[in-house]
Amino acid sequence: MGVLDDVRKWLNDVPLWKELGTVPDRVKALEQRVVELEEKLNGKYPADVCPKCGSRTMRATASYGPTEKGFMMQDWKCQDNGCNYQETRTIKPR
C-alpha cells in the first residue's frame, strides 16, 4: 500500500488534480445558470439591445422586401416604456 499512498500524496501536490475536484460543483452551478437563462427566454428569440436606452427590449415589428438588390428591411422598436426608439435595419439574407 505504500506505493498507492505515495501516488495519492503526489496527486495532492498537483494543482490540476485539486482543480479537478471542483469540476462537478462548477458544472452543476453552470447547468443551473443555463436553466435560469432558458426560463427567462421562455422559448422566445432574445430581444436586441436598444442603442438609445440600453435595455434589452428592441423587437422587430415589421419585415418587408426583398429589394431589387436582395436586401430585406426590418422595422425595430424599443418596447421599454418611455423610450419608444425606432429604427429601420437593412439586412442581407443568407
Residue 19 lies in a domain: yes
Residue 78 φ/ψ, nearest 5 degrees: -75, 130
Segment 9-31, tens digit of pLDDT? 777 777 777 788 788 888 999 99
Residue 15 lies in a domain: yes
Residue 48 lies in a domain: no
Rounded Cα–Cα distance for residues 92 and 66 (Å): 9
Residue 47 lies in a domain: no
Rounded (5°) CA angle 11-17-19: 150
Whole-number Cα distances in Å, 83 to 9, 79, 86: 62, 7, 9
pTM over 0.85: no
Residue 13 φ/ψ, nearest 5 degrees: -85, -10
Instruction: Find the domain containing 18 and state its range.
Output: 2-41
Residue 30 lies in a domain: yes
Segment 57-82, tens digit of pLDDT? 899 999 998 888 899 999 999 998 88
The domain tally of the chain equals: 2
Residue 53 lies in a domain: no
